[in-house]
Amino acid sequence: MPPTLPIFSLEGKTCVVTGASQGLGTQILAAFALSGAKGAIVDLSQESADSTAADLKKEVKDAGLPEPKIKAYECDTSSEEMVTKTWDQIIKEFKRVDVLVTNAGVAGGTAAEEYDFKDWQRILDVNVNGTFLFARAAGKHMIEQKIPGSIIMIGSMSGSIVNKPQKQSAYNASKAAVNHMMRSFATEWGEHGIRVNALSPGYIKTAKTQGDEMEELSKQWVDMIPLHRIATPEEFRGTVVWMASDASSYLTGSDIVVDGGYTAW
């Protein structure tokens, strides 16, 4: 392994990542595994989660490192019953959890006056309630087991600004709620040595940002980004390892915005 500061190592730690079967979530768990961690993939599709687990094991082995322990779990993160069941399965398998990343989320948008309530509710159920349910389970576990863990909630720059030109009030509101939930949990759990932060990406190249319509939007976004490009999911590996590891031991209650400078204007 190339030399690096030992404080960034995740050796011996167990990391749980929701929504980890594609895009940013996959890259987060890959970064953890390459840093020495064991991992749990939580996703809506068991088949996708199993496939991602196999791919990640191969990536780590191809890097010349020991094959990591990675398990896949099917779960709708907005269901309290399923989250409780999945969390219990993870603890039974791994015995402890040191890091949680709540990455599962959905997007979507329409004009506010035309928003269907069911669509609005679905976005908040997944993005806000799903984050809460997993964070609550992790916080309780870490408090009971006296684990000075790290909880990373995936927010968005949309939690602090309003994007243009797309209309996405439900998504924006959900990510603003995640940011304030993060700060609230950080203040409550700090006395237990548990750190709670948010990683808020800007625009990322994923399967969801493909297609002719999204291509046209992407051109507009690039013009508003000081770095003049959209991020790749791989570019978040370093940031999330820092946030999960002891390298960020005094970081809590912080919203880490990684947006190519979009919100600096």
In the residue annotation, 175 being an active-site residue is answered as: yes
The active-site residue out of 156, 158, 200, 245 is 156
Of 92, 99, 90, 98, nearest in space to 70 by CA: 90
The active-site residue out of 115, 171, 203, 262 is 171
Whole-number Å distance between alpha carbons of 135 and 198: 12
Size (the chain), residues? 265
Q: HSE (CB half, 13 Å, CA atoms) of 60? A: 24
Q: Letter for the amino acid at 165?
A: P
Whole-number Å distance between alpha carbons of 129 and 151: 15
- Angle made by CA atoms 208, 212, 215, in degrees to the nearest 5: 70
In the residue annotation, 156 being an active-site residue is answered as: yes
The active-site residue out of 175, 203, 245, 262 is 175
Question: Hey, how many other C-beta atoms are within 10 angstroms of the C-beta on 54?
Answer: 12
Contact between 106 and 122 under an 8 Å Cβ cutoff? The reply is yes
Residue positions annotated with a catalytic role: 156, 171, 175
